């Protein structure tokens, strides 16, 4: 009986922490290594000092493809103000498809391929695309979007975060 209580307590604590992570703001973005298409790497710590949209997507995802012009327009609108985008292609997306998509659509921001799935796992077991996280200048996750964000609301939040020091 004591063992069951301990296990139940651990499960409850994990559920509370997971809920706080998914619903709360001010949680540090998880430590990750983003492997970009050119083979270079960026770390989560490299996002600090900028407001960044980390967008998990796939070339086979209809919603991802439909939202990408809006993601590009958002990047273009705010890039000169300290805003960035990190597009993370899912592990099941063939790298050649990702490269072709990026080249033909001329994506203007960093694109990483999550070959092992480690980045998606670190960011909360991302399984549904698109899933995006808005990260503030301090490297904290402010908002999580599953599916296409309301871009009007996203822009308002970006503008607010860009004003923070």
Distance of CA 58 to the CA centre of its chain: 13
What average pLDDT does this structure show over 4-15? 39
pLDDT at 143 over 80: yes
pLDDT digits (tens, 9 = 90+) for 112-125: 999 999 999 999 99
Report the SS3 class of residue 83.
Answer: strand
Name the E strands within 19-163. Answer: 27-28, 33-35, 41-43, 51-57, 83-89, 110-113, 131-135, 140-146
- Quote the pLDDT of residue 18: 40
Which among 57, 164, 163, 157 is positioned nearest to 110, based on CA atoms?
Answer: 57
The per-residue pLDDT of the chain, averaged, comes to: 88
Name the E strands within 22-150. Answer: 27-28, 33-35, 41-43, 51-57, 83-89, 110-113, 131-135, 140-146
Kindly list the domain boundaries of the chain, sorted by start residue: 27-163
The pTM is what? 0.83
pLDDT digits (tens, 9 = 90+) for 27-79: 999 999 999 999 999 999 999 999 999 999 999 999 999 999 999 999 999 99
Are β-strands 33-35 and 27-28 bridged in parallel, bridged antiparallel, or unpaired? unpaired
pLDDT at 3 over 90: no
Residue with the larger pLDDT of the pair 23 and 137: 137
- CA end-to-end span of the chain, whole Å? 52
CATH number of this structure's domain 27-163: 3.40.30.10
Q: Are 89 and 123 in contact (CB under 8 A)?
A: no
Q: Tokens representing 81?
A: 């103000």
What average pLDDT does this structure show over 150-164? 97
- Quote the pLDDT of residue 60: 96
């Amino acid at each position: 009986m004591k063992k069951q209580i301990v296990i139940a307590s651990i499960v409850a604590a994990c559920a509370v922490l997971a809920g706080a992570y998914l619903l709360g703001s001010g949680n540090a973005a998880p430590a990750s290594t983003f492997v970009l298409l050119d083979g270079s790497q960026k770390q989560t710590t490299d996002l600090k000092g900028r407001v960044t949209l980390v967008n998990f997507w796939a070339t086979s995802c209809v919603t991802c493809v439909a939202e990408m012009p809006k993601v590009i327009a958002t990047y273009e609108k705010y890039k000169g103000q300290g805003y960035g985008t990190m597009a993370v292609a899912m592990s099941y997306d063939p790298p050649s498809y990702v490269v072709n998509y990026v080249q033909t659509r001329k994506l203007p921001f960093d694109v990483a391929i999550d070959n092992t799935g480690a980045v998606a796992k670190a960011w909360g077991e991302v399984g549904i695309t698109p899933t995006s996280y808005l990260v503030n200048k301090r490297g904290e996750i402010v908002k999580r979007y599953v599916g296409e964000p309301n871009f009007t609301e996203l822009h308002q939040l970006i503008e607010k975060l860009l004003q923070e020091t």
